[in-house]
Structure 1
Amino acid sequence: MQNLSLKEKNIRKCLVKTKSILVTISGADHPGITSEFSECLMLPYIKLIDIGQSITHGLLSLSFLFEITDLNEEKNLKNKLSQKAQQLEMKLEFKTIINRHEVHYAGEKYILSCVAQAGITSEFLHDISSILAKNDINIQRIDNVSSSDFTSLEIQTVAHSLEVKWEKVKPQLINISNKHSTDMAMLKDNVWRRNKRLIVFDMDSTLIQKEVIVEMAKVYGVGEQVHKITEAAMNGVIDFDESLVKRVALLKGMPEAKLKNILDEIPLTDGVEEFIMTVKKLGYKTAIISGGFSYFANAFKEKLNIDYAFANDLEISKNILTGKVAGPIVNAEKKAMFLELLAQQENIKLEQVVAIGDGANDLPMLAKAGLGIAFHAKDIVKQNAQQHMSHGPMTSILHFLGITEKIG
């Protein structure tokens, strides 16, 4: 027998012909299928390269990509796998992979979290996938994470290069979202995506369905005057601080007792109670940070078991409103500041903070948070916020957090 040196043996190994084969198995799912087929591949001349498995409405799709180093055994192996497929009543398909290579994408990875109450349509999927393709973004995986209340998909994507700018894609995705009444969040696919610990709410038109100062003005008979000042602020004629001072001044002389009557008539936003109950059970900290009034913010804090509340204090003397704000005004900059200070106090990174609001004065707070959501907001706010929720109740935001099951 010829004696070969170690170097000669290594050279001969390099000359051995190999083949890459993809086997795809499909059929009705039941326990043990993966085990049965992987056992068939437990051979010294088989090198497992990749595996993929998914189940859609009880139908299994299972793929093995392997390299066979003894081509004399290829026929026997295929027969063995075919017999196993027949035994398990599964369909089997073989494909030889020539010039196997992995595709590496250099661009950013995002998860598109899509949520709809009425169901996600094929038209929506077509429009989304077309937009992604036109922008040189590849879909790597789509997972159905629907719950009993919502249809929800998570679309895993990656840009082909760093030249792809997601901020240019975002307006196109917002248009598709609005067209199909399907809410969507563009979530960076990183370690922070499912690692949130603090949720901060604006109050007026976010946690509750009303603007408190508007309701106060109606009760006190100065609704029209307050409305005009609000419009001036929205049009940039006066800033938030000035508008708040002027509106509160119109409430001078209002009995404090009327605040309780107004509070009792304010409805919560749909889904708020279930949303907060769910995140509290999971250990999240919660807070209200509002440009409204502390009388109402503190009441909703107690009612909903929220941990913190920050808002403007109405100056009250002898049970009568003086028409002044006591202390510094909680404006847009202060809201962002409170969010940051609260995160520091709780030893929580900003990437782990969720902020939810509807108004322009929420934008700095939404930008500061790791996940900022414009909730049923005006177009200008949606366009400038990280994410938006425009169609579903508050509970649909749970899907953006990766919470798709009800917590008992």
Structure 2
Amino acid sequence: MSSTRLAILSPAARGPMSLPASMGQLVASVESHQEVWGCWLQSWDLPVTISEIALFLDELARQALQQGREVIWAPMSSASSSVRLVLHGSAQPEALRRALTTLHLQNFMPGRILHCQRDDLALVLHGPDGPLSAANHSLIEALEGISLDVAVTTLWEKGYFQLLLTDMDSTLISIECVDEMADHLGLKRQVAAITERSMAGELDFQTSLRERVRLLAGTPASTIDTIIRERLQLSPGARELVTAAKAQGVEVGVVSGGFTQFTRYLQETLDLDYAFANTLEIVDGQITGQIVGDIVDAAAKADILDLLAISLGTDASHCIAIGDGANDLPMIRKAGVGIAYHAKAVVRAQADFQIRYGGLDTASTYLGWGNG
């Protein structure tokens, strides 16, 4: 059966708007009637077609415009689906208005409020069934200039996800371990030159890593402990994300093109279920400049995600991957949900969701962990 979804967004100071009596009699259900982020959001389901109430809608829109309110409506059908809109960051009425207006252009309409507090807002959207990538990229463009993270996501049931796998450098932690070691040893310029050649496409990741590690030859292994003690910092929200995942029964791992000494520290500190990285060769208390065994590169990260999923009796579609660099792309693309964290443009473009401003706990908000 076809119906019409109607919503009104009003400045909080104006208060909610009443429907004309003749129109109010048509209401099948009230989904939202709440003050959120400096606005009154009202949403109704009307069991009639738009053509049947076109005159009422036009008059309502005219009155609303005179009062500084915004009215939107869209047809709904039995094929319509429900998804979640998440806004995380600065609670601005303009952000909510831009988001709902942008989504309305794609026939998404607001429904009930799932969660609302100062920095987080999550609400149900009703709209067309299908991929959400277009809606997400449109939202990012529409909210450009506002320091706020936004996503349209599936309404996943608890237990849907089994594994969260995250990159380490500049993702789970705020530093790049090799760069910090190089800076500590006065080798920053040499390492930067190798990194630049890698970014220019002159070196692949494995070659770049081996050349950088070679520069560390003869360095006391205790340098690693010094870096961990003096420079290593968790990214904002890292501990909260791990805690939220475990509360959902999701296993958590870190996978890195860095070194096992750092990932082991993180595994102990955050009580992670898994930790994978490269093994530095250490002989007589000194780093030899060599790596033992196979290198954990982009392909290996994706393979590790696959293998862990299988060991958990599931597949990649029930896994989440978070990263910031090009070597995270294969696992981000393979996972059921791939999240770009303060990432390079190429990663943001291919990830399901982006975290551009907030901490890692923004991922918990996107996934609906603890907030509806």
Asked if TM exceeds 0.5, the reply is yes
Residue equivalent to 1:56: 34
Q: Which residue is 1:154 aligned to?
A: 123
Query: Per the alignment, in what secondary structure is the counterpart of residue 205 of structure 1?
Result: coil
Query: Deviation digits for residues 54-90 of structure 1, max 9, x if unmatched?
Result: 4525999898989xxxxxxxxxxxxxxxxxxxxxxxx
Q: Look up the match of 2:199.
A: 234
* Cα shift readout 1:362-387 (whole Å, capped 9, x = no counterpart): 11111111111101112222112111
Give the structure 1 partner of residue 88 of structure 2.
115
* 1:179 counterpart residue number: 145
Seen in structure 2, the aligned counterparts of structure 1 residues 250 and 105 have a Cα distance that, compared at 3 Å, is: farther
- What is residue 250 of structure 1 aligned with on the other side? 215
Write the mapping of 1:3-402 to structure 2, written as runs, cut at 5 A.
50-56=28-34, 103-104=76-77, 110-116=83-89, 118-119=90-91, 121-134=92-105, 136-147=106-117, 150-159=119-128, 166-189=132-155, 191=156, 195-265=160-230, 266-402=232-368
* 3-state SS, counterpart of residue 141 of structure 1: strand
SS in 2 for 1:153: strand
> Could you say if the C-alpha distance between residues 405 and 155 of structure 1 is closer, same or farther in structure 2, counting changes exceeding 3 Å?
closer
Count residues in correspondence.
317
Shift of 1:143: 1.9
Per-residue CA deviation, residues 71-125 of structure 1 (Å, 9 max, x unaligned), is: xxxxxxxxxxxxxxxxxxxxxxxxxxxxxxx842657764332211x21x23223
Indicate the RMSD between aligned Cα atoms, in angstroms: 3.1
Q: Deviations over 1:165-186 (max 9, x none)?
A: 7544443322234422221223
1:145 aligned counterpart, secondary structure: strand
Distance 2:328 2:41 in 1: 46
Distance 2:354 2:247 in 1: 25
The secondary structure found in structure 2 opposite 1:175 is helix
* Partner AA of 1:139 in structure 2: M
* 1:114 and 1:154 in contact (8 A); partners too: no
1:172–1:64 CA distance, 2 compared to 1 (3 A): closer
The residue number in structure 2 matching 1:82 is none
Please state how far the C-alpha of 1:279 moved relative to its aligned partner: 2.2
- Give percent identity, aligned residues only: 33
CA distance in 2 between partners of 1:152 and 1:185 (Å)? 11
What TM-score, normalized to structure 1? 0.70
Shift of 1:244: 0.5
Q: What is the CA distance between 1:216 and its match in structure 2?
A: 0.9
For 1:143, the aligned partner's letter is I
Task: Quote the Cα distance in structure 2 between the aligned partners of 1:106 and 1:283.
Answer: 32
2-structure distance, mates of 1:349, 1:252: 40
In 2: Cα distance, 1:375 partner to 1:334 partner: 20
* Structure 1 residue 130: Cα displacement: 3.0
Counterpart-to-counterpart distance in 2, 1:351 and 1:304: 25
- 1:263-320 deviations in Å (ceiling 9; x for gaps): 1121111121222123223322110011111110011101110010011111111111
Conserved? CA contact 2:245–2:369, under 8 Å:
no
1:402–1:328 Cα change, 3 Å: same
Deviation at 1:324, TM superposition (A): 1.0
Structure 2 CA distance for aligned equivalents of residues 367 and 147 of structure 1: 32
Hey, what's the Cα distance between the residues in 1 that align with 2:111 and 2:180?
Answer: 48
| C-alpha deviation, 1:140, in angstroms | 4.5
Match of 1:76 in 2: none
Residue 133 of structure 1 deviates from its aligned partner by: 3.4
What is the one-letter code of the residue matched to 1:115? H
- Residues 229/63 of structure 1: CA separation in 2 closer, same or farther (3 Å cut): closer
Change (3 A) 1:182 1:220: same
Counterpart AA for 1:198: L
* CA distance, structure 2, for counterparts of residue 368 and residue 350 of structure 1: 6
User: Which segment drifts farther, 364-373 or 150-159?
Assistant: 150-159
Which AA in structure 1 matches 2:86? S
TM-score by length of 2: 0.76
Name stretches of at least 5 consecutive residues in structure 1 with no aligned partner.
1-48, 67-101
Query: Residue type of the partner of 2:77?
Result: H
